[in-house]
Amino acid sequence: MRVLMLSWELPPSFSGGVGMVCAEICKELSNYDDISIEYAMPYGPKEVSKFSSNCDVSGVQFEEIDFSNVYITKIPTLLSCYQTPHEYEVTYEDYLKSSVGEYKTSKEIYGENILQEVELYARRIVKKFQHRQFDVIHAHDWTTMRAAIELKKVTGIPIIFHVHITEYDKTGNQGGHPEIMKIEQEGFEQADIIVAVSKYVKHQLISKYNVDPLKIRVVYNAKISDLVKSKSKQQLFEHKKTVLFMGRMTLQKGPEYFLRAAKKVLEYRNDVVFVIAGGGDMLQRVIELSYELGINDNVYFHGGAYTRVEAERYYSSSDVFVMPSVSEPFGVVPYEAIVKGTPTIISKQSGISEVLKHAFKVDFWDTDEIAHKILALLEYEPLHNYISDNAFTEVDSHTWDKSVKKIVSLYSSIKHK
């Protein structure tokens, strides 16, 4: 079976969970002798990473993605991971001002805005693959939807759309960019099957996009296989406890709730440092909030995107990890914390809360309860060890073989005749 996979990132050039999940799927699919994967992904100029604050080029290696039946095709574009329309425009302007772009005009290569670029990317995909034979198109998230739809129109190849996040989720359930949501809506209508990474996503697709429930299949993510287990802790701040937030500084991820819970914790004990790592449009606002709350001396900002090496250091040296997401389709970061022996507190408004048993679960808005859970884990060592040890054991059973087996079954059910 020949599968064309369309995605926007893949380690070691990646930004977040989507790239790691795609790599895990490909890695597991490489065990199937009768399946080959053509993996098409955005690939800009060599210097594109310096234009995009979101891209981290020192990511998970996955043996440099040297899988026997996975073939990577790089498609020219300035699209990169998790870009907002504004971030794309900044990238575009920076590119044109650079020495890379001085010999080209905008009309010759890249779109002036993210919607134009998505359309151009779709044309490049069609031109590249319209005369190739595939059984299934497996497309990930909205930036690949136009490409998959246009290719289906000229080839008839069926589409599986893998939904890791929606535009609605990205805004913390506050609506979203109408043109992006329009593309998503068309993609959901044109898809033969939709894979949702959680029941939470399935509910969003039905309630916000009016998707037929019979078209949706829930396939949960599993742990990141290349993470090295560790239960040894190294203190990040001398004589201080550390509570960690890792993620993009956006409304969706709930950094404000993390800080408001931090203030309540610090009213009881002052030997705690709250570490915030990640970049995004809310970063400056979150920094300002730490001052407004009067807790800035106990908050450490990494500032901007972080590398995998830095992430593992934070996970390994923290006492508690908190994911207070307002709307989290799945959320693989708790897996990363658990593998490093760090107990987690996760919002009930997340997909991973459906499958992770040994974690404290809270409503994102309940900062009193978040603070209580943080204090409990910091002050009661037997509880800390119980949650940490059992979660550590639990994630071993969250492997990709079962999830990918479901995906392969979906391939077989709709493959092009």
**What tokens were used for 156?**
């008839």
* pLDDT at residue 62, rounded to an integer: 45
Rounded Cα distance between 384 and 376, Å, is: 8
Q: Which residue type, as a one-letter code, is found at position 353?
A: S
* pLDDT at residue 299, rounded to an integer: 97
Rounded Cα distance between 199 and 364, Å, is: 18
- Which helix (H) or strand (E) segment is 13 a member of? none
The angle, 0 to 180 degrees and rounded to 10, between the axes of the packed helices 114-129 and 178-190 is 30
**241-397: CATH class:** alpha beta
* pLDDT at residue 13, rounded to an integer: 60
Residue in 340, 345, 347 with CA at minimum distance from that of residue 392: 340
- Which helix (H) or strand (E) segment is 186 a member of? helix 178-190
What is the pLDDT tens value at each position of the chain, 417 positions in all? 999 999 987 776 655 678 889 989 999 999 999 999 999 987 766 544 444 444 443 334 444 556 778 888 888 777 766 677 777 777 777 776 665 545 454 445 666 678 888 888 898 899 999 999 999 999 998 989 999 999 999 999 999 999 999 988 887 767 788 898 999 999 999 999 999 999 999 999 999 999 999 999 999 999 887 666 665 667 788 889 999 999 889 899 999 999 999 999 999 999 999 999 988 889 999 999 999 999 999 999 997 778 778 888 899 899 999 999 999 999 989 998 998 999 999 999 999 999 999 999 999 999 999 999 999 999 999 999 999 999 989 988 889 999 999 999 999 999 876
Query: Domain locations in the chain?
Result: 2-222+399-414, 241-397
Q: Which fold has domain 2-222+399-414?
A: Rossmann fold (3.40.50)
Residue in 230, 239, 396, 252 with CA at minimum distance from that of residue 323: 252
Phi, psi (rounded to 5 degrees) for 145: -65, -45
**Cα distances (angstroms) measured from residue 86 to each of 37, 147, 174, 281, 375:** 33, 22, 18, 10, 39
2-222+399-414 matches 241-397 in fold:
yes
Rounded Cα distance between 48 and 80, Å, is: 9
Asked if residue 350 lies in contact with residue 324, where contact means CB atoms within 8 angstroms, the answer is no
* pLDDT at residue 19, rounded to an integer: 83
The angle, 0 to 180 degrees and rounded to 10, between the axes of the packed helices 255-266 and 283-292 is 20
Task: Give the HSE-up count for residue 352: Cα atoms under 13 Å, Cβ half-sphere.
Answer: 30
Q: Which residue type, as a one-letter code, is found at position 324?
A: P
